[in-house]
Structure 1
Amino acid sequence: MLKLTYIQYQLPYYGIENTLFHYARNGSVEKIEIWEEGQTLKERVLYLIPYERKSIAEKEKEELFCVYGCPSEPEMKVRNGFYTSEQYSLSRILNTLNRLWMDLQKWEIILLYSEEMDLNVLLDTSETILRMPLAVSDNRFHFLAKGQWYQEKFPTEVLDRDEMNDLIWQEDFRQCLHRNSVFHLPLKTEEKDLLCFNIFISGQYYARVLGSIEDPKHEALQEELFTRLAIAVNSIFVNQRIHSFLTGRNSDLQMQVEALLAGEKKADETVMERNHWSVEDRYKVMVLSFDARYPMEEGIRFLYKKLWELFPESCVLIREKDLICVRNLSRESQNENYRERMAVFLRENVAKAGSSNAFTGYEELPVYLKQAYEALRLGEKNAPYFWHYEFGDYMVPYLMERATGEYGLDQIVHPGLFQLMEYDKEKSSNLYQTLKTYLDHGGNATQTAEKLYIHRSSLMKRLDKIQSLTGIRLEKQEERFYVDMSCRLLEYHKSHEK
């Protein structure tokens, strides 16, 4: 639900500054409409009405109005609503209000499911609503999460002594360790207050949510919004008993795997051993790509966490809009239903995955990352209705594409096949199909004849005819392999031309 106080607070951040508000009560808005002549006015609807018809709005005592197109000094008689300057068009005002409302609704949904959110994403999204710097810090001034403002001003994960002394009085900070509601803490160097909320785990002070009063005129609203955010942050810690989604066990491993994927050949064995990864273990790389409709900006950290829960012995990385999961197969428990759970995860999150072949060691990670991407590409091309693609299942399409990467199809296929197809066209025969069926059955004449519904002797005559026309020597293993691959190339390209 949108309130007039919130609209007044937010409009300047959307570029609409010349407004004049008045509300006898804090009007709540459930719908926004453009006023039309003669319509019945309803409660909790914000009507946009032109200035020249302002008298309609001035007669009402309870309904909410936005009067647009006003001169610089309008006569203010609306009880609940606001006036906007004539420099703002109706479409701009309407679009701004709708965007403002959608941003608030999105934030409220995120708060509702905050237990599944990453702290950094939650703070980034909340900064647009609260319009204040946001962070979560422990009592040693280590940042557990930072919004964009804190990330830019304090790029390190911990404040140094001078920064602590400049930011707040350290003694005051520690004296508030037992406060269990939102409280104010004066900043030492600026004329404003920090908004603070303590996080307790098992009854012990653990961390503090930090914001600040940026506009004293809207202090009550800012504190109300900050309180809602603080409760959501608290639920993340209380219900999940975690310090952050990036735990100490995995942070150094992530950095190491990132380096290996970037092409670094030698791993820091101390890091790998500490995380129980060995060069003798078997691994597999998996890439997850998500539908364009999925809200990646808000959801990527949630998916990251869920994937890590699915493969707890893996290393999960975020690369742009994809997730990369390097699985340690040697450390994973043998869970028979992981494929089923993986399928559910992919379907629920509108995602597809490509997996590399299994391999030993981790020095060739970039090669197997490329395999995973190839599996995803080939799988979506050849079986678009599947969810998970293994590179080994698409080796034939991969080889088919590679075979014609440098030379054209007519330059690499055995020329005898083109002779057969031309002969079949002229004579209305089916020698090419006979040869293909024979090769498909591994050179077994009896099975081939049964498949073609002809006598075995008739098949042998056709094979003799094929040999006399093309010079193909089926008794030679290498040539039979070449002809077989040529048939497969022709059929593959024929199927992908449709």
Structure 2
Amino acid sequence: MNITAGIVIYSLSLDTTIRTNIEVDQDFEIDSYELWEKGLPQNRVLYIVEKERLLRDLTIWRRKFILCAGWLDEEELEGQELYWICMSGSIGVHEIMGYVQQVFNRYYQWYIRLGTQIRKKESLSELLDTLDEVYKLTGCIATQSMRIVGSSSRFEEFNSWVDGQGMVTLGMVNELVADEDFQEAAKYDDVFLYYNTYQDWYYCYNFKSDGQYQARLLASTENHEKAHGVRRLIQDFGECVSDVYEDYFGQGQYLQSGREMYEMICGLLQGVKVNAGDIRRVLSRYHWEISHHYQVILFQFQEGVSGGVGMAYYKAQIRKLFHDCYVVEEKDRFICIRNLSRSENSASVYEENLPYFLRETLCKAGISNVFDDFSRLHRYCVEAERVLLIGERTDSTKWYYSFPKYVLPYLMEQCTRELQAEQVCHPAITVLQDYDSKNETHLLESLRVFLRERHSITHTAELLEVHRTTLLVRLDRIRQLTGIDFDNYETCLHLMISFEILKLVTECYKM
């Protein structure tokens, strides 16, 4: 590996004050360095020269690299095409030679040390500490699920977006999910710069397995600014550590062992019939049983949130939320199969943790009934889908919807799936609606409350805020107009269902 002009500039800047006309994003490889005495300078050599000798004959330095003893000004070099680094004139050329030798030694010793650490299988954090110790670059490696699998000791000191538990904060993940540049960066093979919402620069390097993005190295200077040579240092570090990452955190073995489970669940979710014996065999690897109690929770994210880095993080958070569960990703949603027999069925999950997660991720959830036959997974996934649709339409301010609480609206929707509401509702509904409209009466509402209050004259009159006699007159008038027999169970059931259908149609019309 060859050192570059940028690495020389960055290394010197760690120890002393310098000036240069080389741009931050410019970088040139250097094979060697030497003290210039005479002759024609060669390419890819860093020459150390006194200012007076440099200015004496500028023509020979065209497109050459100079480390000058003495400050240079742009005016002195106007029109000259050369690349220069300069140090204070109080430092002699031989002392500068010592600085340069330290720069080269530092780089090659660091590179050799890194290789030794890798052969010894030292942790990623230890490797990152070496990068920080030698080059004052704090860094971390975050997986696709936003788990920090390695970080230098000082990383959290300079970065507020790590939660202290080895994860990127939820707030930062939400920003990254919405950041198209960050998502697009998962395709990059070379080091790239990322400028976050805290106005910090990070040098990033992607780790990939079989061409697929798996994790990202993020590193920065102490002041979070761009600097010479850092891009190359991160490139060298990332290429060295890639093999270590694959050994320590590669996904191949996990994916292979879980492939049968994943394929079986995908098949069941699509309605494919799977042999009970095969289900038992695959579930047994996770210590699950076909007759355990299960529940499907469907997580639907806002439009535009699909795939990308953040979704892996959300999946990991769902696993933490429900502990013993299996999560399948489908475009912009997750299907979570929760094993209630092997996890705590604490109310706090729904009352506190789940709403918080949903609010922070702008996601909503549909929850199925509990079931005890894994082979019926498909029908309970349908439950979660249906309750999510109904809940968002009828209770849009809520974050999650449980199917048992929305069974009645679901039934009412099915009643009008093929026929119009007026076709399935009791004919008395239309008669009373027309009568109330023409006569400005309240017979239909009186009937609804009377049925809901189980034929109680007292409770109905109190709720309607009318006298008992007034209510009796209204009920008598209802009998005359419709012929309803309040003692007939089927008639009353039909009427109550009709009122629920009417309510559903009214809510849909408002939307």
Q: TM-score range by the shorter chain?
A: 0.5 to 0.7
Larger CA deviation: 261-270 vs 379-388: 261-270
Please give the per-residue CA displacement for 1:390-421, whole angstroms capped at 9, x wherever unaligned: 11222222122211111112211111111111
Please give the per-residue CA displacement for 1:58-95, whole angstroms capped at 9, x wherever unaligned: xx959xxxxxxxxxxxx997989xxxxxxxxxxxxxxx
Aligned-partner residue type, residue 258 of structure 1: C
Aligned-partner residue type, residue 224 of structure 1: I
Matched, 1:128 2:188: yes
8 Å contact from structure 1 (residues 266, 363) kept in 2: yes
Equivalent pairs, count: 333
8 Å contact from structure 1 (residues 237, 243) kept in 2: no
Query: TM-score, normalised on structure 1?
Result: 0.57
Q: Residue 146 of structure 2 aligns with which residue? A: 117
Q: Residue 163 of structure 1 aligns with which residue? A: none
Q: Residue 260 of structure 1 aligns with which residue? A: 268
Q: Residue 234 of structure 2 aligns with which residue? A: 224
Q: Secondary structure at the match of 1:337?
A: helix
Q: Residue 369 of structure 1 aligns with which residue? A: 381
Q: Secondary structure at the match of 1:389?
A: strand
Matched, 1:299 2:310: yes
| 1-structure distance, mates of 2:241, 2:184 | 16
Q: Secondary structure at the match of 1:266?
A: coil
Q: Residue 140 of structure 1 aligns with which residue? A: none
Q: 124, 147, 154: which one pairs with 2:211?
A: 147
Q: Residue 466 of structure 1 aligns with which residue? A: 478
CA deviation after TM superposition for structure 1 residue 224, in Å: 3.2
CA deviation after TM superposition for structure 1 residue 265, in Å: 2.3
Q: Secondary structure at the match of 1:303?
A: helix
Matched, 1:274 2:285: yes
| 1-structure distance, mates of 2:183, 2:491 | 65
Aligned-partner residue type, residue 274 of structure 2: K
| 2-structure distance, mates of 1:232, 1:117 | 18
| 2-structure distance, mates of 1:361, 1:237 | 39
CA deviation after TM superposition for structure 1 residue 323, in Å: 0.9
Please give the per-residue CA displacement for 1:412-444, whole angstroms capped at 9, x wherever unaligned: 111111111111222222111111111121211
Q: Residue 26 of structure 1 aligns with which residue? A: 23
8 Å contact from structure 1 (residues 354, 391) kept in 2: yes
Higher RCO (CA < 8 A, seq sep 6+): 2
Q: Residue 407 of structure 2 aligns with which residue? A: 395
8 Å contact from structure 1 (residues 357, 368) kept in 2: yes
Q: Secondary structure at the match of 1:363?
A: helix
Q: Secondary structure at the match of 2:260?
A: helix
| 2-structure distance, mates of 1:229, 1:118 | 21
Matched, 1:430 2:442: yes
CA deviation after TM superposition for structure 1 residue 118, in Å: 7.6
| 1-structure distance, mates of 2:389, 2:452 | 27
Q: Secondary structure at the match of 1:374?
A: helix
Sort the Cα spacing of 1:78 and 1:265 in 2 relative to 1 into closer, same or farther, 3 A.
Answer: same
Alignment of 1:238-387 (within 5 A): 246=254, 250-267=258-275, 268=278, 269-294=280-305, 296-339=307-350, 340-387=352-399
Q: 429, 454, 457: which one pairs with 1:417?
A: 429
Q: Secondary structure at the match of 1:394?
A: helix
Please give the per-residue CA displacement for 1:23-63, whole angstroms capped at 9, x wherever unaligned: 9513359xxxxxxxxxxxxxxxxxxxxxxxxxxxxxx959x
| 2-structure distance, mates of 1:255, 1:361 | 18
CA deviation after TM superposition for structure 1 residue 476, in Å: 0.2
8 Å contact from structure 2 (residues 390, 409) kept in 1: yes
Sort the Cα spacing of 1:452 and 1:128 in 2 relative to 1 into closer, same or farther, 3 A.
Answer: same
Root mean square deviation of aligned Cα:
4.3
Aligned-partner residue type, residue 463 of structure 2: K
Aligned-partner residue type, residue 356 of structure 2: V
What percentage of residue pairs aligned between the two structures are identical? Answer: 26
Sort the Cα spacing of 1:349 and 1:329 in 2 relative to 1 into closer, same or farther, 3 A.
Answer: same
Alignment of 1:47-86 (within 5 A): none
Aligned-partner residue type, residue 335 of structure 2: I
CA deviation after TM superposition for structure 1 residue 275, in Å: 1.9
| 2-structure distance, mates of 1:112, 1:271 | 33
| 2-structure distance, mates of 1:459, 1:126 | 70
Aligned-partner residue type, residue 146 of structure 1: D
Aligned-partner residue type, residue 146 of structure 2: M
Sort the Cα spacing of 1:232 and 1:273 in 2 relative to 1 into closer, same or farther, 3 A.
Answer: same
Q: Secondary structure at the match of 2:412?
A: helix
Q: Secondary structure at the match of 1:333?
A: coil
Aligned-partner residue type, residue 328 of structure 2: L
Q: Secondary structure at the match of 1:130?
A: coil
Q: Which runs of 4+ in 1 moved over 4 A?
A: 75-80, 110-116, 121-127, 131-136, 219-223, 228-238, 241-251
CA deviation after TM superposition for structure 1 residue 146, in Å: 2.8
| 2-structure distance, mates of 1:451, 1:113 | 60
8 Å contact from structure 1 (residues 111, 229) kept in 2: no
Sort the Cα spacing of 1:236 and 1:302 in 2 relative to 1 into closer, same or farther, 3 A.
Answer: farther
Query: TM-score, normalised on structure 2?
Result: 0.56
CA deviation after TM superposition for structure 1 residue 477, in Å: 0.6
Sort the Cα spacing of 1:386 and 1:234 in 2 relative to 1 into closer, same or farther, 3 A.
Answer: farther
| 2-structure distance, mates of 1:253, 1:76 | 68
Q: Secondary structure at the match of 1:454?
A: coil
Aligned-partner residue type, residue 393 of structure 2: K
8 Å contact from structure 2 (residues 303, 332) kept in 1: no
Segments of structure 1 that go 5 or more residues without pairing to the other structure are 6-22, 30-59, 63-74, 81-107, 137-144, 151-196, 198-218
8 Å contact from structure 1 (residues 446, 456) kept in 2: yes
Sort the Cα spacing of 1:24 and 1:364 in 2 relative to 1 into closer, same or farther, 3 A.
Answer: same
Question: Which structure has the larger Rg over C-alpha atoms?
Answer: 2
